[in-house]
Chains A and B, each alone.
Chain A
Amino acid sequence: MLNLIQDTIVHTQPESLGAAVEKAGHAHGQTDWSVAAIVALPLLACVLTGLCAALRVKSKLPAWITVASLAGAFALTLKTFAAHFMGAESHPFVVHVFDWVTFSWAADAHAQGPQTNELAANFAFYLDSLSALWMLFVTGLATLIALYASEYMSHDQGAGYCRFFAAFSLFVFSMACLVMADNLLLLYLGWEGVGLCSYLLIGYFYKKPSAVAAAKKAFIINRIGDLFLAMGVMLIFVQFGTVEYSVLFEKARPYIELARAGQFSQIPFLVKLIPCLLMGGAFGKSAQLPLYVWLPDAMEGPTPVSALIHAATMVTAGVFLIARTYPLFLLSEIALPVVAWVGALTALLSATIGMAQFDIKRIMAYSTVSQLGYMFCGLAVLSPSGGVFHVVTHAFFKALLFLCCGAVMHGFAGQLDLRKLSGVMKVPGWRIVGFGMLIGCLNLAGFPLTAGYFSKDMILAEAFVTPGTAVIGWILLITAGLTAYYTFRVFFRVFVGPVAYELGDEHHGADHGHDDGHGHGDAHGHAQAKGHADAHGHGGTHHEPHAPGWAINTVLATLAVLSLAATGLYFVGGDHGAVAGLVDQSSAGFHSPLAHHGAAEGAPAHEAGHAVVSYVPEFVHARAHGGEVHAGTIFGADPHKAMYFISAGVGAVGIFVAFWLHLAGRKSAATSRADALLPALGPIPGWAQGKWYVDEFYDFLVRKPLWVLSHIFYLIDSYLVDGLVDFIGAAPRAAGKVIRPSQSGELHGYALGMAGGLVILIVIVALVAT
């Protein structure tokens, strides 16, 4: 079925963007099945686990199938990576599997331009250093988290277990399509595919109305972003006649030349519009303002899902999209500044919400939103390598944090309220979880010498270096302090301090609601029953938390080590570490498209005093001509060096405040010094705890009016059906009685029908007008 061709991309010119593709076809004689298998293996796992469901398998078989397939995919990714992208210079290549939406037609004879048009969107995979890097951590983390889930989900062995792993595998398949796609339509397939899996897995506990609502919300809000992405893809197709990256980058070259020459005014408006549409999709998938509201609710899903999909991989798809189409973002003066502002404001806003929450999983969710804001800022302040490095480090430490929270939730019967848990680390059997949590928290808080510290610094420093983005830098710096505070608030409240806890049960846990009779809390009781012969049933009958088993502990330990080891990525490889080296060679790098350009001509003088919106042209132009952008400073020092100390200081202050308020002198789980401080802040903590009422605002502004409008439409429609058309039915008969020999009764009816339609139209026009 598959006609597998490895297409090799030949670098004809060093500065060629996206590189000229020469489809070598069979010339190289070698078909790279292994790349296709990276995508196919998770799909196979999905099919097999689906079969397990059909055959009513009750064992852990689905989990092992999934773990094995994903491990296979990871191994193949590693092999591909080692073979193609380890060197100093790598070449992207395309693996064509089979045609998907592909057809051609003759162009308008009168049009200038090509005589045939083709829409070519195939199942073909584009591998460059960026997609290979992304696939490495996606498949690696997915394998680990699947292993974790094999234990975590064991209470549900049977149909639910199969369903979970089928959706899980399908997610990895979709993510692989998204990342490795060689065209935007296949990316869109992956994009919506991960959305579907997210929907299915958030709604995993489908008997809980809150889970169903959260799943629906996630899908619909993502669809809003998807519409912008789809429009962006269409605009790209109409403008450039292709949706394939390699051709697209080649076709975009004239505009990039213009950008290099500093002639931004010559670039057509429509080309500048493209990144603005694409970023809409990115904001939806990556939960940025104004579309972030779905992600915190998505925590209704099982924790492994929160860790993999809603922290480490899927939500970084927006970052990937911008990194992938980075050259297009450099063509517009406003695209990257908008991304920067959205990222910075999202980071700040969600950090303030995270500070005031009590559900530890929700806190982690808000921190994810906040950190995603950092990643966007990284891209937008012209440090794509910083942004991508933060994606990688965040993937590890945030997955670790979620899995630790999940272990707590699993062991304490669904308890997630930090006021009801304390000193967990001192409970026998919980040491690994505690240490894992500590490592994760240190990373998130940006503690010196952790991976999270270096990746965050790259973004912060660059924000001060790039002219015009210092404000962004300050916002991010403040957010870094808040992050350190809320991160260690969780750690100091839950994991250290006096040992005191309350297990969750069905009458408990209004915050997270795992109390449904069939939900996790109950099902947990069954898992409990296995470990403790006496314990059967729910919360009330057992009083001991049960410590995590080998699978969970192994995964936590591995992730903790990996989170620490990620620091090493900063020190190997080039200037800013291995990740920066990989990013530079990809479409997100400045070096492939824009550097090495004839530096002979001097850069023409720029008007000084460009507002924030114009830093992109200045930068692109300067880079193109080998010049240095006039670098900004922080307190008169070089941000790259000073930021090491400044951010460490900010982080330390945050951690210390958390220590003072939440650990020092704390006697019980429920109260701390912070309680005394709260009244002084007036209603603000309450507002933050209420998430600044953004959900309510949207409901009032969008959902309610739409709902009313829908009812009005329905009334109009039913009135017509029940009233007017009945009249039509009666009219011919009446007419027939009056004019005996007439056969035109139906025609009368028709005329009335048309009149009825017209009435609707007028009513609607009137409605719209008023």
Chain B
Amino acid sequence: MLLMAAILIPLVSAVLIAAAPEARAKTIALLGTLAQLVIACYAATVFDWSFSSRAQLGMSVAWFEGLGVSLSLGADGVSLVLILLTGLLGPICVLASSTAITTRIRTYYAWLLVLQAAMAGVFAARDVILFYICFEFTLIPMFILISLWGSTNRRKAAIKFFLFTFTGSVVALAGLVYVTWFNATLDRGAVPQVILSQNELLGTWTFDVSTLITAGQMMSASEQAWVLLALMAGFAVKVPLFPVHTWLPLAHTEAPTAGSVILAGVLLKLGTYAIYRFALPMVPEAVALYAPHLSMLCVVGIIYGGLICWVQTDVKKLVAYSSVAHLGFCMLGMFALNNTGITGSILYMVNHGLSTGALFLLIGMIYERYHTRDMNQLGGLAAKMPVWATFMVFFTMASVGLPGLNGFVSEFLCLLGAFQASSSWGSGAWGSDIEPVAAATPGALGPWFAMIAGTGMIIAAMYLLYMVGKVVWGPLKTPHGHAGGHAGHESSGADDHPAPLPTDLSGREIVTLMPLAVLCLVLGVYPKPLMNAIQGSVDQTVAVVREPLRTHAVTGAPAKPAPASPANTHGEGAQ
């Protein structure tokens, strides 16, 4: 019921906003998002963390019974953590929009709340169709946010965003439906009793996530490969992995501040979460087989995205491209397919949301004051806005991956995961045949992946310090017409500010940044609670992937179908 509330409350608030007078919209939006956050926090206290690998707080209501679709919700540790992140960013986005959005206020906040509901729905869904509906439904509010409140190129950006991600996810749906169909035509008699007793829905027409995951594992290697391709088509675009990332910089740059924050903070994580939730456990053999190839894309993305950041002049575009590099780390950890890597990857989802979200907020604050994001026109703002500059340096360091702040823990674990994941360890290939290598895991990545991806750490320092060096440090430089102390006063623009902004940050702006800063620090110094929260779920996923991974690693070829799996005969028989 709690999860339902976390989805419904923003929706109800959205309806209220649409009905209420314009002046109330902001307040209702704030209350609605705060309520969502409170519910998410309360859910975290009710949640039984000792069984964090199980979907809890669940509820299931038949929806379209004939189609097997149900309104089924539930959250394991990973889902709950991401729901908390969504809940946290909600009120922050509302607060961040209060002076930036001056036109069509009701429409804006209503769609923002719909977006919040949809995102919570993605993380809480335990039914594939419900998941897909929520997944796609995030597109519409974001499309509207970009195309109505974005900057100059907003139309183009919105269309690109929509087309790219929508087309991808249609293919992903096809993959998911294939698994559903596979499950429905499964011969129950051929399935071992142990598995059957745990999944009563096996062999029936259902969209239940855990049933489909079990069924997916029974598919033949080639079927799995096709399903993986379909899933990746949808989810990799969302992440975004190189080379299907090109929608991201434009959408990020053109979106309003709150849009960018949500985009970086949560929307990208829909892709990584979906890969974690579906691709890994559902088609483990294919994932194990193709992990090196996918990891190569991650590594290319890390370096390619990072280097592009380095030559940007638009500060927002720089941060946007940095997401390509950062999410490369995140996915590299995921495809390491070991505990270290996946733990790092999930921590990365949260940490990237916090630090990059905060960077977008900070850039938004500058844009509101100077109406430019061009680093040739802006510079040395530390002299004028010391508080802003302090936050900027802080979050930049979180983004660089400075130990003691959140980014480091996840980045290090992702790299360590990739480093460990090589079956060459201990086989004599690296010369370690005397003693068993203590902490190696099966896989096909290994030190070279970590080393090459690790250059991304240097590149990150290059582009982020280049940004800070231009915008924060150096001689003061502001665009013409903004030389005065109160930059917010200028009234030549189309959007007059109802209240002028102070030179440095206002109390409201500090309040929006503070929770993120505190979390960045706490998760950097004491990440243990978060690690514990996701550990059960990660262990379970790793256990599923490990067997095929070992087989691949040893033979270097696709695993022969598992004897326990009746899927093959079934699959062929059904053709």
Binding site for B on A (CB under 8 A): 98-103, 105-106, 108, 110-114, 117, 119, 123, 159, 185, 188-189, 191-193, 196, 199-200, 203, 206-207, 209, 212-213, 215-216, 219-220, 223-224, 226-227, 230-231, 234-235, 237-242, 251, 254, 266, 268-271, 518, 706-707, 709-711, 713-714, 717, 720-721, 725-726, 728-729, 732, 746-747, 749-750, 753-754, 756-758, 760-761, 764
Cβ contact within 8 Å between A227 and B454: yes
Cα–Cα, bound, A200→B473 (Å): 11
What are the residues of chain B within 8 A of A111 when measuring CB–CB? 436, 440
Cβ contact within 8 Å between A207 and B475: yes
Given contacts A238-B420, A760-B243, contact A710 B308 (CB under 8 A): yes
Which applies to chain B's interface (DSSP): helix, strand, loop or mixed? helix
Cβ contact within 8 Å between B461 and A98: no
Q: Which of B168-188 contact A (CB under 8 A)?
A: 168, 170-171
Cα–Cα, bound, A710→B416 (Å): 27
Given contacts A220-B458, A239-B438, A713-B307, contact A108 B546 (CB under 8 A): yes
Check if B130 is an interface residue, CB within 8 A of chain A. no
Cβ contact within 8 Å between A100 and B525: yes
* B374 vs chain A, min Cβ distance (A): 16
What are the residues of chain A within 8 A of B474 when measuring CB–CB? 206-207, 209, 212
* A469 vs chain B, min Cβ distance (A): 27
* B336 vs chain A, min Cβ distance (A): 12
Given contacts A238-B419, A239-B437, A758-B243, contact A220 B461 (CB under 8 A): yes
Cβ contact within 8 Å between B304 and A159: no
What are the residues of chain A within 8 A of B170 when measuring CB–CB? 746-747, 750
Cβ contact within 8 Å between B438 and A223: no
What are the residues of chain A within 8 A of B64 when measuring CB–CB? none
Given contacts A108-B546, A254-B435, contact A238 B440 (CB under 8 A): yes
Cα–Cα, bound, A200→B166 (Å): 45
Bitwise interface map of B from 469 to 491 toward A, beta carbon under 8 Å scored 1, else 0: 10011111000000000000000
Known pairs A191-B403, A219-B461; list 16 more (Cβ under 8 Å): A103-B531, A189-B403, A192-B402, A193-B404, A200-B393, A207-B380, A209-B474, A215-B469, A216-B469, A235-B447, A266-B434, A268-B434, A518-B383, A717-B246, A725-B246, A729-B163
What are the residues of chain B within 8 A of A191 when measuring CB–CB? 403
Bitwise interface map of B from 424 to 454 toward A, beta carbon under 8 Å scored 1, else 0: 0100001111111111111000010011001
Cα–Cα, bound, A223→B437 (Å): 28
- Minimum CB distance partner of A191 in chain B: B403
Check if B5 is an interface residue, CB within 8 A of chain A. no
Max count, chain B CB within 10 A of own CB: residue among A103, A231, A251: A103
* B541 vs chain A, min Cβ distance (A): 11
What are the residues of chain A within 8 A of B420 when measuring CB–CB? 234, 237-238
* A187 vs chain B, min Cβ distance (A): 10
Cα–Cα, bound, A709→B440 (Å): 35
- The tally of residues in B whose CB lies under 8 Å from a CB in A reads 88
Partner of A237, one of B156, B416, B458: B416
Given contacts A219-B461, A227-B455, A726-B156, contact A713 B308 (CB under 8 A): yes
Cα–Cα, bound, A215→B474 (Å): 12
Cα–Cα, bound, A11→B312 (Å): 58
Can you list 20 A-B pairs, Cβ within 8 angstroms, ordered by A?
A101-B409, A103-B343, A112-B436, A117-B339, A123-B525, A188-B403, A192-B408, A196-B402, A207-B473, A215-B469, A230-B412, A237-B416, A239-B437, A251-B438, A271-B432, A710-B310, A717-B246, A720-B246, A729-B156, A757-B242
What are the residues of chain B within 8 A of A720 when measuring CB–CB? 246
What are the residues of chain B within 8 A of A266 when measuring CB–CB? 434
Cβ contact within 8 Å between A223 and B458: yes
What are the residues of chain B within 8 A of A269 when measuring CB–CB? 430-432
Partner of A725, one of B247, B437, B462, B528: B247
Cβ contact within 8 Å between B308 and A714: yes
Cα–Cα, bound, A709→B455 (Å): 15
What are the residues of chain B within 8 A of A254 when measuring CB–CB? 435
Cα–Cα, bound, A726→B550 (Å): 44
Bitwise interface map of B from 180 to 203 toward A, beta carbon under 8 Å scored 1, else 0: 000000000000000000000000
Check if B349 is an interface residue, CB within 8 A of chain A. no
Cβ contact within 8 Å between B473 and A212: yes
Cβ contact within 8 Å between B397 and A196: yes
Cβ contact within 8 Å between B550 and A749: no
What are the residues of chain A within 8 A of B304 when measuring CB–CB? 713, 764
Give me the 7 closest cross-chain CB pairs, A-B, nearest first.
Answer: A241-B438, A750-B167, A269-B431, A757-B243, A189-B403, A105-B339, A710-B307
What are the residues of chain A within 8 A of B476 when measuring CB–CB? 207
Cα–Cα, bound, A320→B190 (Å): 64
Partner of B454, one of A231, A709, A764: A231
Cα–Cα, bound, A102→B528 (Å): 7
What are the residues of chain A within 8 A of B419 when measuring CB–CB? 231, 234-235, 238
Partner of B439, one of A99, A241, A729, A753: A241
* B284 vs chain A, min Cβ distance (A): 15
- Minimum CB distance partner of B450 in chain A: A234
Check if B30 is an interface residue, CB within 8 A of chain A. no
Max count, chain B CB within 10 A of own CB: residue among A196, A230, A729: A230
Cβ contact within 8 Å between B311 and A714: yes
Cβ contact within 8 Å between B432 and A223: no
Bitwise interface map of B from 130 to 168 toward A, beta carbon under 8 Å scored 1, else 0: 000000000000000000000000001001100110111
Cβ contact within 8 Å between B311 and A193: no
Cα–Cα, bound, A99→B472 (Å): 35
What are the residues of chain A within 8 A of B542 when measuring CB–CB? 105
Cα–Cα, bound, A714→B397 (Å): 24
Cβ contact within 8 Å between A732 and B457: no
Cα–Cα, bound, A108→B436 (Å): 13
Max count, chain A CB within 10 A of own CB: residue among B243, B420, B550: B243
Cβ contact within 8 Å between B458 and A224: yes
Cα–Cα, bound, A720→B246 (Å): 7
- Minimum CB distance partner of B338 in chain A: A105
* A178 vs chain B, min Cβ distance (A): 11
Cβ contact within 8 Å between A105 and B432: no
* B383 vs chain A, min Cβ distance (A): 6
Cα–Cα, bound, A100→B529 (Å): 10
What are the residues of chain B within 8 A of A223 when measuring CB–CB? 457-458, 461
* B52 vs chain A, min Cβ distance (A): 13
What are the residues of chain A within 8 A of B442 when measuring CB–CB? 108
Cβ contact within 8 Å between A227 and B457: yes
* B552 vs chain A, min Cβ distance (A): 14
What are the residues of chain B within 8 A of A215 when measuring CB–CB? 465, 469, 473
Cβ contact within 8 Å between B473 and A206: yes
What are the residues of chain A within 8 A of B340 when measuring CB–CB? 105, 119
- Minimum CB distance partner of A518 in chain B: B383
Cβ contact within 8 Å between B307 and A750: no
Cα–Cα, bound, A268→B402 (Å): 32
Cα–Cα, bound, A219→B409 (Å): 19
Max count, chain A CB within 10 A of own CB: residue among B247, B307, B393, B535: B307
Cβ contact within 8 Å between A193 and B243: no
Cβ contact within 8 Å between A750 and B233: yes
What are the residues of chain B within 8 A of A270 when measuring CB–CB? 430-432, 437
* B527 vs chain A, min Cβ distance (A): 7
- Minimum CB distance partner of B554 in chain A: A110
Cα–Cα, bound, A747→B425 (Å): 43
What are the residues of chain B within 8 A of A732 when measuring CB–CB? 163
Cβ contact within 8 Å between A729 and B160: yes
Cα–Cα, bound, A206→B393 (Å): 13
Cβ contact within 8 Å between A99 and B528: yes
Partner of B163, one of A108, A239, A749: A749
- Minimum CB distance partner of B418 in chain A: A234
Cβ contact within 8 Å between A105 and B539: yes
Cα–Cα, bound, A709→B462 (Å): 14
* B440 vs chain A, min Cβ distance (A): 6
Given contacts A207-B383, A238-B438, A750-B170, contact A707 B311 (CB under 8 A): yes
* A38 vs chain B, min Cβ distance (A): 17
Cα–Cα, bound, A270→B440 (Å): 13
What are the residues of chain A within 8 A of B466 when measuring CB–CB? 216
